[in-house]
Amino acid sequence: MTKRVLIFGQSGVGKSSMINALANSKLPVLDGAVGTTFESEEVSFKDSSNQEILLIDTVGLSESATGTSSSIDSFIKLKNLLKKSTCGFNLMIFVTTKDRITGNDKANIELFKTILGDDKVPVIMVVNKSENLEDCENMVLDLESNQWVTKNLLYIEQVYGKDCFACIKSTSFPCTKGDDLTFSEEEKKLVSEASRRIVLAMINKYSSKESVVLIRSSQDLFSKLVRMWNLFLFKTGETAFKIGIDLQSFSSVGKLAEKLKVIFKADINFLELAMDLYGIGVNNNEHDVACNKK
């Protein structure tokens, strides 16, 4: 049975670099300042025990804050991910760096762990770029002994809560771009391999045995979309209406779609979005049909 692992976090924290190292893939790794993860990327691979693992990298709340993706675009991409994820997830991986534990981090945890995952999917935290650059000779040892997390665990627990994550580990997945001069090529290989072993061990240990199904009916989808929508508007400062309060003022799906089009002026299918927001998104049997194909 495939382990389905959802990866989330801000732009520029090394999600794509981590996926490339885990799966030996070649997702594009660009400048985090411009935002890079616009669509959900899926990469499948088998570990040393022949266990198939599907990694799903997705957009988060911070993508709209970079100026590269509006809140409505980010919402649409997460909506589409949710509609496709009828088989659920075995694990979620929250990726951050040691210097980017911020309010956006907390908002993303609320979005993925609580709203999408119903606090039922195990979540682990990967603190990337936590190598000790002042002691290059012992970088691998520091990662394997979880030095940075051990020293900063109290602060992490103060920010997120003591029981937020099933496990927290230090890693370093260096960017593979040629102009990254932080590491020598040999150091890149060593720390990347050590980090790969750390994360794979976490996936194998903390993934739920069975995938946690999140969407079983159109009502499940509608409930999550409403909560996601309202969180996006609150965190991004948009002035659009909150669903559940103002939705009742629209007498038809078509009128809601026209209102959305006027507000956001984006090149998307607003009629489809309006149908989803009205709770007409997924056939009740879609979960069983999709998962039986696996």
> What is the DSSP secondary structure assignment for residue 59, as one 8-state letter?
-
Please give the mean pLDDT across all residues of the chain: 77
Q: What is the pLDDT of residue 290?
A: 44
- Our count of domains for the chain comes to 2
Q: Kindly tell me if the per-residue pLDDT of 283 is higher than 60.
A: no
Q: Which long-range contacts (CB under 8 A, 24 or more apart) does 233-242 make?
A: 233/71, 235/61, 235/104, 235/107, 236/61, 236/64, 236/65, 236/71, 238/71, 238/72, 239/263, 240/264
In tens, the pLDDT along 212-264 reads 998 877 777 777 877 887 777 776 666 555 555 455 566 677 777 776 776 66
In tens, the pLDDT along 124-158 reads 999 998 877 666 668 889 999 999 999 999 999 98
> For helices 71-84 and 218-236, what crossing angle results, to 10°?
160
- Does the residue 246 lie in any domain? yes
Closest CA to 247 of 274, 207, 217, 215: 274
As a whole number of angstroms, the distance between CA 55 and CA 291 comes to 17
Considering the domain architecture, whether residues 105 and 245 belong to the same structural domain is answered as no
Segment 160-179 shows an average pLDDT of: 81
- Does the residue 103 lie in any domain? yes
Considering the domain architecture, whether residues 240 and 172 belong to the same structural domain is answered as no
Considering the domain architecture, whether residues 18 and 127 belong to the same structural domain is answered as yes
More confident residue, 256 or 54: 54
Q: What is the pLDDT of residue 178?
A: 43
In tens, the pLDDT along 198-222 reads 999 999 999 999 999 988 777 777 7
Residues 6+ apart with CB under 8 A from 200: 22, 47
Q: Kindly tell me if the per-residue pLDDT of 102 is higher than 90.
A: no
Considering the domain architecture, whether residues 115 and 253 belong to the same structural domain is answered as no
As a whole number of angstroms, the distance between CA 128 and CA 169 comes to 9
As a whole number of angstroms, the distance between CA 22 and CA 51 comes to 13
Tell me the residue length of the chain.
Answer: 294
Range of the domain at 121: 3-206
As a whole number of angstroms, the distance between CA 84 and CA 86 comes to 6
Considering the domain architecture, whether residues 71 and 164 belong to the same structural domain is answered as yes
- Does the residue 263 lie in any domain? yes
Considering the domain architecture, whether residues 49 and 88 belong to the same structural domain is answered as yes
Contact between residue 113 and residue 121 where contact means Cβ atoms under 8 Å apart: yes
More confident residue, 183 or 223: 223
Q: What is the pLDDT of residue 249?
A: 60
Considering the domain architecture, whether residues 120 and 74 belong to the same structural domain is answered as yes
- Number of helices and strands in the chain (H, E): 11, 6
- Does the residue 261 lie in any domain? yes
